[in-house]
Amino acid sequence: MTASHIAHDTVDSTAAATGSLPGSGSSEGAGNRLRARDLSLGYGERVVVDGLDLDVVDGTVTGVIGPNGCGKSTLLRALGRLLRPKRGSVLLDGEPIHRMSTKEVARTLGLLPQSPVAPEGLRVADLVARGRHPHQAWYRQWSGDDESAVAEALSLTGIGDLADRSVDELSGGQRQRAWLSMALAQGTDLLLLDEPTTYLDLSHQVDVLELIGRLHTESGRTVVMVLHDLNLAARYADRLVAMSEGRIAAQGPPGEVLTERLLHEVFDLRARVIPDPVTGTPLVVPVGGRQSRGSESEDAGPGTRGS
């Protein structure tokens, strides 16, 4: 069964369900730099992602959403060459990413893991400078290019003043910016971010996402990020990919993907979807109580409500 079959079964109302969605119709195929074909992933015997096809549309911010354990992070790790596929392949510029050298990939694609670990006592400037590693050699450890890339990354995230500080002295929000700066200093067109807003309070979440949005609008980078917060995902992503049990349940513009029906099918959540009063993007308002525990019979299903 292919991903599009599943999508038809689960969210047949969405045009985004099939591969031929309106947003990507023109840019589909060989045009996109990062693609997954018939991708199956897992750890040991356990299969987490099964037969998935995905085109990351160039120059967009793609938000990957889905319930816990649906394979979002696993997919992201495979896209970043951190996990070898059981079957199928990830194509970067048309070439299977697992046949490319680690360094080659690192010059094209940057990835920020979910909870990266820095050595104790490392200073922010040195952390960010480490992002230049793929561009360096043993005799070339701090070139002019390195310096300007690091300085620009620090100023983009607004932590230039903290360059001297030790990473472990920083607050959660500052630390996340430091790591983001490191990924930026790497100077890649493609950026994969695994829950870049974890452990941040709402204002810092918004800060980081605004920054990611600006990266994309100002330097045309392609960003794929896994996000838990559906409303922020809808607001800051151009496209959403909703995953369920290792497959893509729906993909496309947030307005088409985030429907009450999908929330019910994928997240087992009863919710209303209303327009965000600020941006007009979908805003998910949970009704409360999981579907399975729902007691009021007249609420036959979330699909009957709203829209």
Residues that bind another protein (CB under 8 A): 77, 80-82, 101-107, 110-113, 116-123, 125-126, 128-131, 133-134, 136-144, 146-152, 154-161, 163-164, 173-174, 186, 203-204, 207, 210-211, 214, 218-219
CB of 105 to another protein, least distance (A): 7
Can you count the helices (H) and strands (E) in the chain?
10, 12
CB of 158 to another protein, least distance (A): 3
Q: Which is nearer to another protein, 155 or 279 (CB)?
A: 155
Strand-pairing partners, residue 242, are 65, 250
In order of 18, 19, 69, 193, the CA distances from 36 in angstroms are 15, 13, 20, 17
CB of 245 to another protein, least distance (A): 24
The four Cα atoms 161, 162, 163, 167 give a dihedral, to 10 degrees, of: -170
The C-alpha atoms of residue 74 and residue 287 are separated, in whole angstroms, by 30
Q: Which is nearer to another protein, 161 or 296 (CB)?
A: 161
Closest Cα to residue 8, out of 253, 288, 271, 247? 247
CB of 278 to another protein, least distance (A): 16
DSSP label at residue 204: H
DSSP-assigned letters across all residues of 139-169: TBSS-HHHHHHHHHHHHHHT-GGGTTSBGGG
Q: Which is nearer to another protein, 91 or 122 (CB)?
A: 122
Q: Which is nearer to another protein, 87 or 123 (CB)?
A: 123
Which amino acid does the sequence have at 6? Answer: I
CB of 91 to another protein, least distance (A): 19
CB of 204 to another protein, least distance (A): 8
Q: What are phi and psi of 219, to 5 degrees?
A: -120, 10
Q: Which is nearer to another protein, 207 or 265 (CB)?
A: 207
Q: Which is nearer to another protein, 69 or 158 (CB)?
A: 158
